[in-house]
Amino acid sequence: MAFRLTPHERGFYPLFTRAGENIATAADLLTKLVAAEPDARPDLARQVKEAEHAGDELTHEIMVKLNSSFITPFDREDIYRLASSLDDVVDDIEEAADRIVLYRLGALPAAMNVLVEVLQRAAAATAEAMPKLETMSQLREYWVHVNSLEDEGDGVYRVLLSELLCPPEGAAADVLAIIKTKEVVDILEAALDACETVANTVESIAIKEA
């Protein structure tokens, strides 16, 4: 007789799906925030914060279920790692949005929009992949794609650093603004790295379950 998970044990999958969708929502809001005028950013940052709170609640639900389930759909350690890495993505997105508003940044570098757009694509890919955990099918394309996006983001990140730290000769440099903007750029890079960690965790799970 084939082994079947009970409905309670299958309850992990909808939670991971919702967590993926929440990441995509937060990334979409961050994309709007970066493109918005400064006076429109606080409201968008508030919405990103709400997504971060929703992510925390989902992570808590997953951990409670993990501690109360005798049998889990895959290794407990992997469930913990996946939940934590999904939460890290939203945390980094929220921190970037918060710093942009907190530091009262004005015009942002054009390349920052590009970096956020790469992050948005990685978040969308993550949201699309999470429902596939239940069948462990068609996931290889996901982690390959996200790894490629992380490489693309690294290139944009280097361009941003060059523009910030090596301004054209003779150009006036606002050192404080450069420091603040670089901090946000570093957080965005961390968010993209966190997306890659999610993808690598999914790859590890899929290989174990194959």
Q: Is residue 163 part of a domain?
A: yes
pLDDT for residue 84: 97
pLDDT for residue 85: 97
CA distance 85 to 123: 12
User: Which residue segment(s) compose the domain that 40 sits in?
Assistant: 7-209
Q: Is residue 1 part of a domain?
A: no
Closest to 11 in 3D by CA, of 77, 81, 78, 58? 58
Q: Is residue 102 part of a domain?
A: yes
- For the chain, 210 residues long, the average pLDDT of each consecutive 10-residue run is 48 95 98 97 98 97 90 90 97 98 95 97 98 91 97 96 78 82 97 98 90
Q: Is residue 43 part of a domain?
A: yes
Q: Is residue 76 part of a domain?
A: yes
Residue type, 206: A
Structure tokens at 98: 């918060």
pLDDT for residue 1: 36
Q: Give the predicted TM-score (pTM) of the model.
A: 0.92
Question: Where residue 11 sits, what CATH number does that domain have?
Answer: 1.20.58.220
Q: Is residue 105 part of a domain?
A: yes
pLDDT for residue 170: 57
Q: Is residue 2 part of a domain?
A: no
Closest to 62 in 3D by CA, of 24, 125, 18, 6? 18
pLDDT for residue 3: 43
Q: Is residue 89 part of a domain?
A: yes
pLDDT for residue 4: 44
**Residue whose tokens read 């996931």:** 139
Structural domain count of the chain: 1
pLDDT for residue 188: 98
